[in-house]
Structures are given as structure tokens and as C-alpha cells.
Structure 1
């Protein structure tokens, strides 16, 4: 389990609701998850959640 973050960080990305944008959204979320220190497995789990949303 990772330690809790000391502060909240908010990121925004606006895209049209289209499956064509899924890759861009997944990359955006993964990049920021990695920057926040999530493990590779947790990043993969987050990517899966993005794909399923």
C-alpha cells in the first residue's frame, strides 16, 4: 500500500466523448498516476479502469 499524498492535485483534460479519444485519455491518466508515485501494477489497474469507464 502506498503512503497517502500530502495534498490534493487536480488535473483536467477536455475531449469529445468518442472512443477515438480513449488512448489520449488513458495516456493522460497514466502519466499523472506515474508522476504521483503509483506502482507499475497500480498504473495498469488505473488504465484498465479508464478503459472500462
Structure 2
């Protein structure tokens, strides 16, 4: 019985949520995220600048 339970493929909750992909992001659209960025005090988002040596 235990072997039977171990053989069953069960997807985790994270895998099921990941399967949705960016559907919610796409539903909100780029304007939504543009407004969020405008509300921030500092607009220093993203990757830090590369320092030239």
C-alpha cells in the first residue's frame, strides 16, 4: 500500500500555481505596472548599473 502511494504522481501547490504562468500579469496589462512604478518614491528598480573599471 505504501509503495502504491509513493508511485502516484502528485504535483505540489507551487507547481500548480506556476502552471498559470503570467496570466494574471497579462490581464492587468502594462498600464497597471506603469502606474505602480509612478507611485514609487525612488525609481531605482531593476538591476544595478554595471561599474566600469
Higher relative contact order (CA 8 A, sep 6+): 1
Instruction: Normalising by structure 1, report the TM-score.
Output: 0.29
Q: Which has the larger radius of gyration?
A: 2
Instruction: Normalising by structure 2, report the TM-score.
Output: 0.29
